[in-house]
Amino acid sequence: MEHPTVSTETEAAIAEATRLVDEAENISVLTGAGISTDSGIPDFRGPQGLWTKDPAAEKASNIQHYVSDPDVRKVNWERRAAGELWTDVEANDGHRALVQLEHREKLHTLVTQNVDELHQRAGSSPGKIVEIHGTTRKAMCLECEWRDEIEVVLDRVRAGDPDPTCEMCGGLLKSATVSFGQSLDAMDLRRAQAAAVECDLLLAVGTTLAVYPINETVPIAKQTGAKIVILNGEETAMDSLADVVIKAGISRTLPRIVRSDLA
């Protein structure tokens, strides 16, 4: 397989990251929006980001606006039902590469900031994944513990219910994501911290590492003796802590680092 031409410095960084993966026994992975852009999902705040181009979409991601404004909910559900929020996208080679870490019995935990479930679609075991910001492919009630596939709710929207409520308790429904103003799940946070403490290599992929508190996994892993590899298209807030920093395309570079050729 031929690879696009990259600098000698980048090739050296890729080789060193590959060596660290080969030597590691317990690898924890943290992924962000950058791993999914090659699947056609834009990031949020980049030049072509979802919220940059559509501020109304960012408003729907604030729990106060969502709860208090029926129009925000109606527009959000209408867009989801119409397929405008990338429900039909598929995993790319970057997602699939991480499955190889499981095949090599090296993956400790895969913590993702993404809400697209593309890691599961690629073949990663759900039990290995921590969706720290939830998922758009499930729906939940804000009042009771009801939760199901989001298509169950979208079918109601398509049938003429513009602002569906919970059939169990009458509460408001939303995608099972963590909106601004909502707390992260305590169990997910504990699992993410354990992943940082117990790994001997932390691989951060496609994230600028600027979002607290999940970005704290990097210094936690560093303090407990783990090696740090960062793969991203641009600089991150934690580059100074990394043993290896690679600025390159993720879907073509990650398979080389985890040696997908061994599959």
The yes-or-no answer on residue 133 being catalytic is: yes
**Counted domains in the chain:** 1
Q: What is the pLDDT of residue 60?
A: 75
Cβ within 8 Å of residue 56, ≥6 positions away: 72, 75
Backbone phi and psi for residue 69, each to the nearest 5 degrees, phi listed first: -120, 105
Whether 85 contacts 79, CB under 8 Å: yes
Which residue among the candidates 65, 95, 108, 133 is catalytic per the annotation?
A: 133
Point out which residues pair with 130 in neighbouring strands: 111
Q: What is the pLDDT of residue 53?
A: 63
Q: Is residue 2 part of a domain?
A: no
DSSP code for 137: E
Q: Is residue 104 part of a domain?
A: yes
DSSP per residue over 168-195, as a string? Answer: TT--BEEEEE--BTSPPPHHHHHHHHHH
Q: Is residue 59 part of a domain?
A: yes
- CATH code where residue 248 lies: 3.40.50.1220
Bridging pattern class, strands 227-232 and 201-205: parallel
Q: Over the stretch 111-137, which tens digit does the pLDDT of each residue have?
A: 999 999 999 999 999 999 999 999 999
Q: Over the stretch 26-53, which tens digit does the pLDDT of each residue have?
A: 999 999 999 999 998 876 655 656 656 6
Q: What is the pLDDT of residue 61?
A: 84
Q: Is residue 1 part of a domain?
A: no
Is the model's pLDDT at 21 over the cut of 90? yes
Confidence of residue 1 (pLDDT cuts 50, 70, 90): very low
Whether 28 contacts 195, CB under 8 Å: yes
Q: Is residue 3 part of a domain?
A: no
Confidence of residue 2 (pLDDT cuts 50, 70, 90): very low
Confidence of residue 94 (pLDDT cuts 50, 70, 90): very high
Q: Tell me which of 1-10, 48-57, 140-149, 188-197 is least confident.
A: 48-57
Q: What pTM did the predictor assign?
A: 0.91
Q: Is 46 helix (H, G, I), strand (E, B) or coil?
A: coil
Confidence of residue 150 (pLDDT cuts 50, 70, 90): very high
Expressed as residue numbers, the domain containing 154 is 8-262
Q: Over the stretch 179-213, which tens digit does the pLDDT of each residue have?
A: 989 999 999 999 999 999 999 999 999 999 999 99
Summary mean pLDDT of the chain: 92
